[in-house]
Structure 1
Amino acid sequence: MGTWHQLDPAEVLQQLDTTIAHGLSQVEVTRRLKQHGFNELTEQPGESLWKILWKQLTAVMVVVLMVAALISLALGDYINAGAILAIVAFNAILGVRQEYQAGKAIAALKKLAVSTVKVRRDDRVQEISARQLVPGDIVLLETGNLVSADYRLLETSNLRIQEASLTGESEPANKTAQRLEPVDAAKGDQTETDLP
């Protein structure tokens, strides 16, 4: 169901067959892991060097420079044509190098950023890898926690979430456990001001 935010917390708990007090049993967690898989993004293969180079060479400004180089060649101005092509080549090499290194850096950061979360399972609080979260887990958020999945808030008290990495907004957004009426805003953009 894609509209969890439109249900009351009690309805969410009922549909996910869980409770705030007890959480899921380990047997149920195992079953849901088999059904839904791990809580992780599917890894997209990185772009090949040729594809990165192609993107560099087909950028609008580079195409304009190559057209200028061709016009210079046609007019017999070989020095300007050579200078323009040298700039295009230097720009392409530099762009490919930077984009390739950025991709490697992001991959390395993903490996380092293994977050853990506190969940209630089998009547007790446990700290698990965020990768092992399943639908219906009762996650206990505390100040400073990273939100490592799509959560449906069930209980809150003056909750403000820093969403700068997703939305670019520097101010934390107020969040609530109350159900939200359908609005045209994306789910992450819905705040307590969207309530009826």
Structure 2
Amino acid sequence: MDNDGQYERQDEQQVVWTVVDTDIGPLLLAATGQGLVNVVFHATDAVREQALARLASRLGTEPVEDSSAALLTEAIRQVEAYFAGARKDFELPLDWSLISGFNRQVLRALAASVPYGAVVGYGDLADRVGQPGAAQAVGAAMGANPLPVVVPCHRVVERDGGIGGFGGGLETKRTLLALEGVLPQPLF
């Protein structure tokens, strides 16, 4: 796979993973040779096993636990620094192969244009990718985000100031927004 996640499968691509304890619970981090490929919330045993099976199916190789892999070591360091309030941006190579089309376009725009401590409305993000009126499709893209926290879908909120939905649960979204100083202040 290339960095854009084209489906040029490598026969023996290795997928490594680890679980990191955070303020929002355990996060599963998985990486390929191209970069971080998946972040999974609430990575208890059952959730972790399901996520790893899904990765094996999608990527064509069995994920291997290896917290000492260089990319995972750096991802762990950056995630821990983020939750400690010492990091505002993630500087990690990303493997976008688990998402494509409009969803990838929206997530890349989000990652590039909505900084730490800021929020954007679903409709505003649709406008940024040249699809006015596609707020619901943006919501679906946020729900399909394979890299939450690192690609900050928690920063996308409703236009009227509501928090909106979140795949990791609303309490997790509130915690992340509070960490970034957005809450308890009004969202807009």
TM-score, structure 2 as length reference: 0.25
Per the normalisation by structure 1, the TM-score is 0.25
Larger RCO: 1 or 2 (CA < 8 Å, sep 6+): 1
Q: Which has the higher helix share?
A: 1
Pair member with larger Rg: 1
